Structure 1
Amino acid sequence: MAAVTEPIGVLLVDDDPLVRSGLTMMLGGADDIRVLGEAADGAEVPAMVEKHRPDVVLMDIRMPGLDGLAATEALRARPSAPEVIVLTTFDADRHVLRALRAGAAGFLLKDTPPAEIVAAVRQVAGGLPVLSPAVTRRLIAHVAESDGDRRRETAAGRLALLNDRERDVAVELGNGRSNAEIGAALYLSVPTIKTHVSSILTKLQLNNRVQIALLVHDAGLLD
């Protein structure tokens, strides 16, 4: 008999009850996803996460109380934190970039088709970001950074923790390449690339590949 897989638990955080209702209906049509609870303010998130133990949190960025950005930063700093997908109304939002730096697995526009939202929840629950490094680079290009020199120096210092091969892999990730593409470019097997990616995440204390891409960009290695 096949093992029974638990449905993916989702927490919805948005101050608009109509948005929460719409998301509940979208996700409710998927047999492998279950909405565990709803919150209207970022301040409610810690208690809701403690109560429901969701796998994924769909988090609105802009809320009148504690916004989704502060809530994401606090949540991702917790041990065994759920994955976070931030919701926004436009893709050049500076706040989205900050949420990604804090460890959000990606972002979705609120007018994203339902099937894509469901697919994104599944992908994030499976440990994969929903935002490719290539999309991250486009986002960065739209958002002017005011502290570029300081950020570059900090990023370069962190990347100095990597060995030469890990640094090569990190740069390829920053260029938006898949594990197979990186392996072909560096003449390494896909399992070896996966090992290097895991080592990079551990050494730099990052959550996902998107954060690696951001750090490589910040260090100026993609210029």
Structure 2
Amino acid sequence: MTSGASRRIRDMLIASILDGELLPGQRIRQEALAEEYGVSRVPVREALHMLEREGLVTLVQNTGAWVTALTQDECIEIYEIRERVEPLLLRNSMQNLDDSVFDRLEELNAQMIAARDSPNEFMRLDWEFHWLTYSGAEPSFLLSMVKRLWNVTQAYRREFVQHQDGTAQHLTHSEHLLIIESLRRLDSADAGEAIASHIRRTRKSLVTRPEIFDLDGSASSLEH
């Protein structure tokens, strides 16, 4: 049975990874976490195993734990998978969305436009936007898989967003509007193509941006 301490440690590490405080390849030292939280290493190990299942941490038996890192090819492959499966997830979700959700999506898109000079705020809003579109989907293997694919690429999305120019930002907001409009019409074909095209554009951009994958936390470890 998972303890409350394990969940607290898991939540802290998720926030640190998704906010970019811990970089891909950075080691997470169990003894440092146990000391910080005043617990044994058991709940720390439980938390790390939960994060491994979510794609955020890589565990190597008898060696340790690291923030999951990807190569450029691996990240592009993940985007190819997302391009194919997220239209299905959106279709499963859209029948359970209502006007209040669509209105919130429009608010979020407007807030992203205002946050164009604040990458971290943009990332937070973008995450909320897309996961709100999927919020009508029932718990499923597909939903869990997509969440894992998002988790493992978060650091690289942040780096990508930080270097977007005005044209790319404008395209992002326009694509979001297309998604919202097709959801309001309950048009699963158009909604599926809108999200696939949105993901596809980023995937093609990643091909030309190998420097994004120079992120390296291997020289650092989680010490307190």
TM-score (norm 1): 0.28
User: Which TM-score applies when normalising by structure 2?
Assistant: 0.28
Of the two structures, which has the highest relative contact order with CA contacts closer than 8 Å and spacing of 6 or more?
2
Higher helix share: 2
